[in-house]
Chain A
Amino acid sequence: MKTRYLIPLLFLPFISCKKDNTPGVQPLDIKLNLKYASAELNGKLDLSKVVVKVTNLSTKTSMTYSPTQGVVNLVSIMPGEYDIDASITIPKDQYFNSTGEAIFEDVTFNAAIKKVNLTSSSSLDLELIAGLLGNFVIKQIYYAGSDNKEGAIYRDQFFEVYNNTDRVLYADSLYFGRLWGRQRNTNDPVHYQVNGQLDWSQSMGMTIGETANTDYVYLRDLFMIPGNGKSYPVEPGRSIVIAQNALNHKVPFIGNNGKEVAIKKPELTIDLSKASFEVHYGDIPGNKPFSTDIDNLDVPNVQILDYTGNDWILDNLGRDAYVIFKHSDRAAVENLPSYPEPSINPPSSTAKKYRQLPVNWMMDAVDVQPNTTDDRIPKKLPPALDAGFTFVTLGGYSSQSVIRKTDKTTNGVRKLKDTNNSTVDFVVIKANPFGFAD
């Protein structure tokens, strides 16, 4: 047989060989079940207009879905970590027609599951909770500080609260503070909940069981605006700025130790000499404040109920949550119990204790997170207070702040956006005390 007639046989493997190599692992199917947390609202309020947003934390892609009969089917999604947010705003008239209950403002219901690790096809429940409608709202948080070589480092941090109503409010006896919770993702010898947050029900002396986690939050510091009740009026559409140091940080100043504190690039920082209030640790008995904790005598100091460290330095990486509330009875606030961290080993006698604050006392709250996904920690706030979180995109020492968006302006008065979801309500700007996002 002539050899050349065998040539076509050489083709056979290449023409016919196209195997179906199916990988060993497949994408997942996830079923989301939506309902209203208040049982009586199910069946009265519509679910079809709920917007469900699913964000893949690895790829940073998001998709939105509308439920069908209260169910969203996610088909062929890859295993990994996701943020799942659901939200619906019901106009007050529609709410009244559906429930018979009159309300003053449109109501937003939120549900959120953050950084959920999906590893197998399963079902998840999303309970929609109505957000609290506050009077004062947290408007701007400048926690990042400015450049640590050429700026003011953390000295120029501030916290701004806004009157989001159409009437005069008084800042007297307004309390503000930061929450404590899990601050890093490494495992310490501490009790954790299933969601990764500290399990306060295991704190030494806690007797209320699981409600310690659901009905309360825990303060790492707490301050109060002074006054006799009418000392500090705040007009509609106005705000108060509480500075760590009420100074003009753009110019050098003399510290408590007599040495000049210079600033290399003034454009990176801000002027807080006109702040409404400042936090000064100089009067705390036995506490040695930082040399840069200057007391501006023209700016009233807030009253200190709880504090930590030598100055009010906000976590510039974004691991704090911020709350405000009002209470007419100072003694009731002072008598709130305090608990240590839920450590596995008994805490020492000098371990810090965290004041337990009822969730239903709070007027407004914002959860802040680190700017990179890998560094994110479990949320400290329940969804009713903040269904999302916010962060400055450039991270610590960036001169950026997070600020609430403007929703609308009526008769020259701005109404800031407040859906109790800081992911949606806040944007990032270069820190600007008393300024606005737009």
Chain B
Amino acid sequence: MKSIEYIAAATAFFLSCIAVQGQIKPSATVDSLTATLYWSQPSSIMSHDMAVRNRVWISEEMKNKSSILGVQQSIAKGSFQPAQGADGLKQTYIYTEGKTKWQKTDFWGRFSYDRSSEDSTSLRHQSRWNEDAPVYFGSLKKNKYNRETYKLDAGIQHTFLNNRLPISLGIDYRLGSHYSNNDPRGDIKDMNLQFELSVGHNLPKISYHLSGSWGYGSERVNVGYKNEKYTKNTEDPLYVNWIMNGFGNAREKISEINYNDLINRTGIGGHLLLKPNGADRIYLNGRYINEKQSFRRNDNSKQTYSLLNDYTKDISSVDFLWSRQMHNQTALKLALTGQIEEGKDFSYTYLSNNYTYQQNQMQIKGLFGFRQFQTEGSIAVRNFRKKDGVTGNLMDVDQIKAGIGLNRRFGVNERADLLGSVHYLRQWSPANDLSVSDLNTGNFARQILYQDYLYETAPSNTWTTSWIWMTHRDKTDWSIQFQLDYQHRGDLVSLNYDLSALPGKDRFLGKLGISYIF
């Protein structure tokens, strides 16, 4: 971990001390960007995404009176995946987003529908948005999973007292349905609703907001068998259902395979914007969320359910963005995002805390734009640690990702442009540790732990190219997007255990989309 500290600190000092060339000019507002550049250009996407994560800034970094309607089709193939990943994926994504202002109120909204089909998924019945939770069902049998997710995200901000007192409300709503069609058949329904209310104060060179958030959600999981014989015996290990309750702490469960996970969240946040001059904008956002999950199974007892596990997680995050607009179409952006998660369970089997989870991650991304060129560099550091008390299982992994990219806008003709980019990302694990108990961990759990360890510690290179053809007309525009990713891993660490499946050598992702901007 020492090497990571030095790399991160050195990068930070270097970036913070860059002497930027060019004259500073007063910051162009986001409204002055053309619609197609706003929705496609990496630098504006960076600011847009920061505002989506922190809705108090929708009036600052989201283009007014611009909307987009799009559809995207993705295909992914390749078995370089974690144990519970899918070797193949087909995804259709339909979305619409827009922002407008009416009198003194800014409105922003995004609705999306995602339909995906996963091939060769096994070892966990899940919704894929609660991956560190200690309780889940799974089996060795590879299955096909279908998922449908609806998401509605919105932000509203109204300013009072002559623009000095902004009050903002952010809403996130998600509804998901996930199911497999062959034994063991999983059926998962998930729901999540989150509100964030903020009160701020605008001054000429500084704006600040304080926010409070509240949310709740649930996951309802059922596993069943069409063929009764699998509920009467454990002869075929592929079809045996296991319940995981911790980290590598699993036992067989072939009947009454269901649980409900009730989730509650509360949090606070602070948001700060500094405008020391006309060209610089410095955003600093911090947030703390406390999340409580209660896993329970319905039964015939007096209280109608039995408790399995209570899982509590503290999530602290920071979101920093510094952008500087200069003359000669030159721009500089520096973003830093970081998050610390700490989870602990209370297992009703042992009447004590058994599972602990910790994840620290940080990414720095810098982007420098000059005329039709934009270059970017990023470095990300991640450490995660999972430990199970009664089995003694432990996984502790450090990861570094470093990437560089180049974007260029080509003029096709008077009314169309082509935006091309190439990107390279290198990932490796400088330090890692795995401890798995042979007697305490069955084959099902060992497959997950060992395969995940191999995946997370494998070095890899990812090459990405994306191309966007876009019009620039008076009122409405079109764009067509195409992206290809190819990831190839290096050697796996050696293990003294025979796994039924290893992370594959590579993974390929292709995306094709079309969008209408109005």
* Minimal beta-carbon separation of A140 from chain B (angstroms): 19
Which residues of A from 263 to 299 have beta carbons under 8 Å from B?
Answer: none
B329 within 8 A of partner (CB) = no
A8 contacts across to B, CB distance below 8 A: 9, 12-13, 16
- Give the complex CA separation of A158 and B350 in angstroms: 44
B249 to A: closest C-beta gap in Å: 7
Does A61 lie within 8 Å of B442, measured CB to CB? yes
Contact with B along A1-24 (1 / 0, CB 8 A): 001110110110111111101111
Most buried by A among B251, B344, B352, B388: B251
Known contacts: A23-B354, A59-B440, A60-B442. The answer to whether A395 contacts B233 by CB under 8 A is yes
- What CA separation (Å) do A299 and B274 show in the bound complex? 101
Distance to closest chain A CB from B286 (angstroms):
10
Note all chain A residues with C-beta closer than 8 A to B282. 3
Task: Please pick, from B229, B322, B391, the residue contacting A78 in the complex, using a CB distance under 8 A.
Answer: B391
Question: Quick check: A394 and B235 within 8 Å, CB to CB?
Answer: yes
* 5 A-B interface contacts by CB (under 8 A): A7-B322, A58-B250, A77-B437, A78-B249, A371-B232
Closest B residue by C-beta to A9: B12
> A94 an interface residue at 8 Å Cβ cutoff?
no
A332 within 8 Å of B (CB atoms): no
Interface hits, B209-247 → A, CB 8 Å: 229, 232-235
| Interface presence of A388 (CB below 8 A) | no
* Residue positions of B touching A, CB distance < 8 A: 1, 4-5, 8-9, 12-13, 15-17, 229, 232-235, 249-252, 254, 274, 276, 282, 316, 318, 320, 322, 334, 336, 338, 340, 342, 344, 347, 350, 352-356, 358, 360-362, 381, 383, 385, 387-392, 437-443, 445
Residue pair B440, A78 in contact (C-beta under 8 Å): yes
A15 to B361, alpha carbons, bound, how many Å?
9
A76 interface hit (Cβ, 8 Å): yes
Q: Which residues of A contact B320 (CB under 8 A)?
A: 7, 10
A193 at the interface (CB under 8 A from B): no
Task: Answer yes or no: A432 CB below 8 A from chain B CBs.
Answer: no
Residues of B close to A61: CB separation below 8 A: 438-443
Given A8-B9, A11-B8, A79-B350: A21 in contact with B391 (beta carbons within 8 A): no
- Whether the Cβ atoms of B234 and A58 lie closer than 8 Å is no
Pair B383/A3 contact, Cβ less than 8 Å:
no
Q: A21 with B344: in contact, given A27-B391, A58-B442, A371-B233 (CB under 8 Å)?
A: yes
Which of chain B's residues have a CB closer than 8 A to the CB of A23? 352-356, 387-389
Residue pair B350, A54 in contact (C-beta under 8 Å): no
Contact A4 B322 (CB under 8 A): yes
**The residue from A3, A14, A80, A372 contacting B362, defined by CB atoms under 8 A apart:** A14
Task: Report B-chain residues with C-beta under 8 Å of the C-beta of A27.
Answer: 389-392, 437, 440
Interface check A26, CB cutoff 8 A: yes
A21 with B439: in contact, given A13-B338, A393-B235 (CB under 8 Å)?
A: no
Of A16, A62, A372, most B-chain CB atoms within 10 Å = A372
**How many Å lie between the Cα of A61 and that of B446 in the bound state?**
11
B347 to chain A, nearest CB (A): 8
CB-CB under 8 A from A21, the residues of chain B are 342, 344, 356, 358, 385, 387
Known: A59-B442, A394-B229. Contact between A24 and B354, CB under 8 A?
yes
Q: How far is the CA of A11 from the CA of B338 in the complex (A)?
A: 8
CB within 8 Å for A15 and B5 given contacts A24-B389, A394-B235: yes
Whether the pair A25, B350 counts as a contact (CB closer than 8 A) is yes
Q: A76 — which chain B residues lie within 8 A by C-beta? A: 392, 437, 440
Interchain CA distance A341-B299 in the complex, whole Å: 31
**Chief secondary structure at chain B's binding surface:** mixed
Q: How far is the CA of A398 from the CA of B234 in the complex (A)?
A: 13
Known A8-B13, A59-B440, A371-B233; contact A18-B1, beta-carbon cutoff 8 A:
yes
With A and B bound together, what is the CA distance between A56 and B338 in angstroms?
41
* Apart from the given pairs A78-B391, A78-B439, A394-B229, 16 other A-B contacts in the complex at a CB distance below 8 Å: A3-B276, A3-B282, A5-B17, A15-B4, A15-B8, A15-B362, A21-B385, A22-B387, A59-B439, A59-B442, A59-B445, A60-B442, A61-B441, A62-B439, A63-B438, A63-B439
User: When A79-B350, A394-B229 are in contact, do A5 and B340 touch as well, CB less than 8 Å?
Assistant: no
- Which residue from chain B places its CB closest to the CB of A81 in the assembled complex? B251
A373: CB under 8 A from chain B? yes
Bound: A390/B60 CA distance, A = 73
A4 to B361, CA, bound (A): 21
> Once bound together, how far apart are the Cα atoms of A289 and B352, in whole Å?
56
Known contacts A21-B356, A372-B234; A10/B336 CB under 8 A: yes
CA of A393 to CA of B249, assembled, Å: 24
Q: Which residues of A contact B353 (CB under 8 A)?
A: 23-25
Query: CB-defined interface of A40-79 with B at 8 Å, one 1/0 digit per residue?
Result: 0000000000000010101111110000000000101111
The 4 closest A-B pairs by CB, nearest first: A23-B389, A59-B442, A24-B353, A58-B251
Say yes or no: A25 contacts B439, CB within 8 Å. Answer: no
* Least Cβ–Cβ distance between A125 and chain B, in angstroms: 21
CB–CB A7/B15 < 8 A: yes
Compute how far the CA of A62 lies from the CA of B438 in the bound complex, rounded to whole angstroms.
9
- Closest residue of A by beta carbon distance from B320: A10
Shortest CB distance B300–A (Å)? 13
User: Which residues of B sit under 8 angstroms from A16, Cβ to Cβ?
Assistant: 5
A145 contacts chain B at the CB level, 8 A cutoff? no
Q: What's the Cα separation between A76 and B350 when bound, in Å?
A: 16
Chain B residues, Cβ within 8 Å of A74: 439
Check A396 for interface membership: any CB of B closer than 8 A. yes
Instruction: Tell whether A3 pairs with B390 under 8 Å between CB atoms, given A13-B338, A78-B249.
Output: no
- Give the residue of B234, B316, B383 whose beta carbon is less than 8 angstroms from that of A371: B234
Known contacts A4-B322, A59-B441; is-contact A396 B232 (Cβ 8 Å): yes
A-side contacts of B334, CB under 8 Å: 7
Give the residue among B250, B282, B360 with the most A Cβ atoms within 10 A: B360
Distance between Cα atoms of A415 and B390 in the complex (Å)? 45
Shortest Cβ distance from residue B85 to the other chain A in the assembled complex, whole angstroms: 24
- Residues in B neighbouring A56, C-beta threshold 8 A: 439-440, 442
Expressed in whole angstroms, the Cα–Cα distance for A25 and B344 within the complex equals 12
Residues of chain A within 8 A of B440, CB atoms compared = 27, 56, 59, 61, 76-78
What residues of B have a CB within 8 angstroms of the CB of A79 in the complex?
350, 390
Q: Can you list, as one digit per residue, whether each of A74-93 has a CB less than 8 Å from chain B (1) or not (0)?
A: 10111110000000000000
The chain A residue sitting closest to B382, CB to CB, is: A14
When C-beta atoms are compared, the residue in chain A nearest to B347 turns out to be: A25
Known: A61-B439, A371-B234. A17 touches B390 (CB 8 A): no
A19 contacts B342, C-beta separation under 8 Å: yes
Chain B residue with the shortest CB-CB distance to A393: B235
Q: How far is the CB of B345 from chain A (nearest CB, A)?
A: 9
Q: Give a binary string over A210-231; 1 marks a CB under 8 Å from any B CB, 0 the rest.
A: 0000000000000000000000
Q: Measured between C-beta atoms, what is the minimum distance from A55 to chain B in Å?
A: 9
